[in-house]
Structure 1
Amino acid sequence: MYRSFNLLRVIAISILLSSCAVVREGEVGVVRTLGKYRDTPLTQGVKVFNPLTSTVVKVSTQTENMEVELNLPSKEGLNIRAEISILYHLEGKLAPDVLRRIGPDFERAVILPVFRSAVADVSARYFAKDMHTGQRAIIEEAIKEQMETNLEGRGISIETVLVKSIQLPNNLARAIEEKLEAEQQSFRMEFILSQARQQAEQRRIEAEGIRDAQLIIAEGLTPAVLRYKSIEAFLQLAQSPNAKIIVSDGDLPVMITEEGNLTAASR
């Protein structure tokens, strides 16, 4: 009797557990009864259903990352090897419609084909070198917008498209590197020339200052000033205790020292 009771309790617990589903945070549950999905999704928590006729299909609504490696056609007809990440999420309220119209494998059934079509269409508008420069962000945004247009109303939201790596043909990659190096050399030479021009301008300004100063001095050295400076100098020499003779023609004095040397002031 006791064994029968335990057996019945185990069976009851098993039935109870099999009729419960736990919907976690970041996902929704969709009840499927006799092959038909219900329209209202289940939110997080413990949900009870009839395990004999129904099942609960859980679908993630978190951000998913799908990575794809493929060849991108360029405008000039080259094939560029690229690795691209697609960040997307499922809209929870539309999960029943996604399962009903697409099925649980919606990545392979819808997202991947739509992505391949969008990326081929967008990349064909750009040259290969554009995918390796600042145009990459524009290309990513264009792919995202085209995917959003093609997936509109399907319950799948594209968050962003990221071009993670680009492998250009060897000849093209080398040509781009040489061009970038030439541009850097050009910028460096322009900087050197700019410095040389600045130094030349500085020397020119200094020379003009010296010239202006000399002109000012020359304009101020009048005969009267020269005579005054000569008299002033001889007055200072006259204070010396050494014997000297000062001879003047009335215009410019000449001094004869004890050694017989002549000293005269310049005009």
Structure 2
Amino acid sequence: MSAVPIIEARELSRRFGGRAVVTNVSLNLNEGESLALIGPNGAGKTTTLGMLTTALRPDSGSVRIAGQDALADPRRARAMLGVLFQDPALDDRMTPRETLRLHAALHGLPRRDTAALVADALERAGLSEAADRTIRGFSGGMKRRLELARALMHEPRLLVLDEPTLGLDPQGRLDLWARIGALRASGMAVLMTTHVLSEAESFDRVGILDGGRLVALDTPRALKLAHGGSSEASLDDVFFHLTGRALRDGDAPLRPALVRRRA
């Protein structure tokens, strides 16, 4: 049986202020597969992720999510996605319970099931005892667990992670990766951007962006053999071989508000 694509992107391009930020990026992600996108600052990772999640409309190209034309019907396509943004996307005046109830309503989950779904999400996130405390006083790890619980509550087919461990302490990173590992083991497709190359080592495939172009896309082992000299090379070796060692300017972060305005 052939693999079922959850994302099919063809020739995606985007310009800002006359400057090409992403040029002709094509990639597939299959059901149950994991893909990490890495690249220097300004390589176009955030813009590519924005186009793949309908937050940004490409100037040219196409995106299909689980067979759905994401440009023709972005709302339906977004229903299949769970997204964990690089920047926190929580109202810290709310409680976890209120946050999850709102998410359930926005995704049209049955009202009769909402209380049970919220309780289950809180338990999975380890936040049952903090369910009615305002988020303002939460640690970074607690906020990340809540955001992950919210992203999964509507049972998406694809989990999208934009720099998921940014700002977390070692314990928080360990906990988050254990949760992500369990989701991958259950068969959920995962798409991630990261600057921490070791985080990409365990993913099925790794894509390397540079100058707005996808310069390599393959398994970590194949990339090491092709660009690192041997299977014993590191992704750092591959990364520097393909992108060089010069410092780069950063690109603008993907803002959750972009998604909310299109909702």
Above 0.5 in TM-score?
no
Q: Which of the two has higher C-alpha Rg? A: 1
TM-score (norm 2): 0.21
Pick 1 or 2: higher relative contact order, CA cutoff 8 A, min separation 6.
2
**TM-score, L = length of structure 1:** 0.20
